[in-house]
Structure 1
Amino acid sequence: MRIVVDKREKNSGIPELLKESGIFVDFATLKVGDYIVFNNVVIERKTISDLLSSFYDGRLFIQCSELVKHFSSPLLIVEGNIIEDLKSESDNSFRSYDQKIQLVYDSLITVVLDFKIPLVHTPNIEHTTSFLIAIANKLSRKYSYGPLLRKIRKQTSEQIQQLSVLSSLPGVGGMFAVKMLKEFNTPKRALNASAAELAKIPGFGTARAQRIRKILDNAYNEVDAENQKTLLDHLK
């Protein structure tokens, strides 16, 4: 059996475990996903730390968008112990443990509900390897040919930032951010769109459109110093 593996996964330890199990590992620079086990089956692997960082900088949204765009059966493997890994995970945002837990859940909800991508949780690289072998085995029994590489144009950092801006709006998330850019072409046009124009986006709805317009159009009100501190702490 053969699995195409992104070159950036070389140091994860998984390729070596695959080879030890008799899997032929074909390294390539993948524009989408980390492991291709069949033509339409791609797997993105993220540790808890990876998941958080990709959520912070908006990469998660563009990665999910690309997964569903180019593959009919994408999967996301979340690897690690959420509780223990978050306790040991450090960043410069001064977020509390509870805030980081909520961010992990928010990101997973986005993946499942907005992008319809199934999640698989594994505790470590050994279990991730076992899952990859299991799915490759199942597909090899059903089909006589293995994964094929396809030419995919990778999104730019500018596009990631555009998606990040729109996805931060309340009730938008990654999938609707993509739909907004497809509908209006630029973030500026999307942000200037009327509630009626926003509501025309499939699945967007009038209530969501009106809420966004209200947030964008209402003037910012000054708050007292104590409340200001609370607000800034919330935004960290």
Structure 2
Amino acid sequence: MAECRRPRVYVDERERGSGVPEALAELGAAVIYTMAGVGDYIVSDRVAIERKTVYDLAESLFDGRLFDQVRRLSEHYDIPVILVEGDPGKLDSYTTRGQQVRMALSSITIDYGVRVLWSLNQRETARMIYSIACREQYGSQRSVVVHRKPRLDKLWMQQLYVVQSLPGIGPRLAEKLLEKFGSIGAICRASVVELERVLGYERAQRIYRVLHAPYKPPRKQQPDK
């Protein structure tokens, strides 16, 4: 690998104060804060890293944010990375639903092509991000690009983007659905049994519910008189 002089790392503002940007600066990285929107640490035009503690990982999985974050990462960057802080061997001590977390990580890797890395603490996280930035910017001569919106200049891209907005649907499954049913409208009209043939039972049930359940927003609280 070429000599790493001072890699640039674009850091989302939400990571300010986490300890990782400070550790990156100590290693010699040029830390640039930005409102990234997608990813916490951007190190090249193809690599973006989402940092999570084990607690964050479990919480984002069970409140539905994790797969949405992963989907957006894979839409915008060719090499999306989830970097988890914590000991994977002690996952069951962090959460009572460790097996569900393991299954979700397997799905993220297989369905979305996301790399999952582990570190023990913020300093190790910083060292890993620094190493990846060096490899990308000095080894592979990649530029750093912060992608905020996918480029959707073709109709088929727009169609894929709409289908990928459904929970648990990545680029590969979106393409399978469109190839199977032919259009977004046909996907919406498909029965749960038809969806199951492409998505499997649990995901089909979830998608069918999203498409057909009545919209019931939470009631706004009346102001106190």
What TM bracket, shorter-length normalisation?
0.5 to 0.7
Structure 2 residue ranges without an equivalent (≥5): 1-6, 151-161, 209-225
Q: 2:166 aligns with which of 163, 166, 183?
A: 163
Is the contact between residue 42 and residue 73 of structure 1 (CA under 8 Å) also seen in structure 2?
yes
Amino acid at match of 1:189: C
SS of the equivalent of 2:43 reads strand
Tell me which residue corresponds to 2:218.
Answer: none
Under a length normalisation based on structure 2, what TM-score does the superposition of the two structures give?
Answer: 0.67
Under a length normalisation based on structure 1, what TM-score does the superposition of the two structures give?
Answer: 0.65
Instruction: Deviation per CA, 1:97-130: give whole Å up to 9, x if none.
Output: 2xx1112112111111111111111111111111
Structure 1 residue ranges without an equivalent (≥5): 90-96, 154-158, 168-172, 217-236
* Deviation of the 1:77 alpha carbon: 0.7
Tell me which residue corresponds to 1:149.
Answer: 146
* Matches of 1:148 and 1:69, distance apart in 2: 14
Amino acid at match of 1:9: E
Amino acid at match of 1:192: S
Q: What are the within-5 Å matches in structure 2 for residues 120-199 of structure 1?
A: 120-144=117-141, 146-152=143-149, 163-164=166-167, 167=168, 178=174, 185=184, 189=188, 192=191, 195=194, 199=197
Is the contact between residue 76 and residue 119 of structure 1 (CA under 8 Å) also seen in structure 2?
yes
Cα 1:181–1:212, aligned 2, differ >3 Å: closer, same or farther?
closer
* Matches of 1:49 and 1:148, distance apart in 2: 29
Q: Percent identity?
A: 29
Tell me which residue corresponds to 2:23.
Answer: 17
1:48 aligns with 2:45: no
Amino acid at match of 2:71: S
Tell me which residue corresponds to 2:74.
Answer: 68
* Matches of 1:177 and 1:57, distance apart in 2: 22
Tell me which residue corresponds to 1:5.
Answer: 11
* Matches of 2:196 and 2:89, distance apart in 1: 39
Q: What is the aligned length?
A: 183
> What RMSD over aligned residues (CA atoms) do the two structures have, in Å?
3.4
Is the contact between residue 43 and residue 76 of structure 1 (CA under 8 Å) also seen in structure 2?
yes
Amino acid at match of 1:34: D
Is the contact between residue 76 and residue 120 of structure 1 (CA under 8 Å) also seen in structure 2?
yes
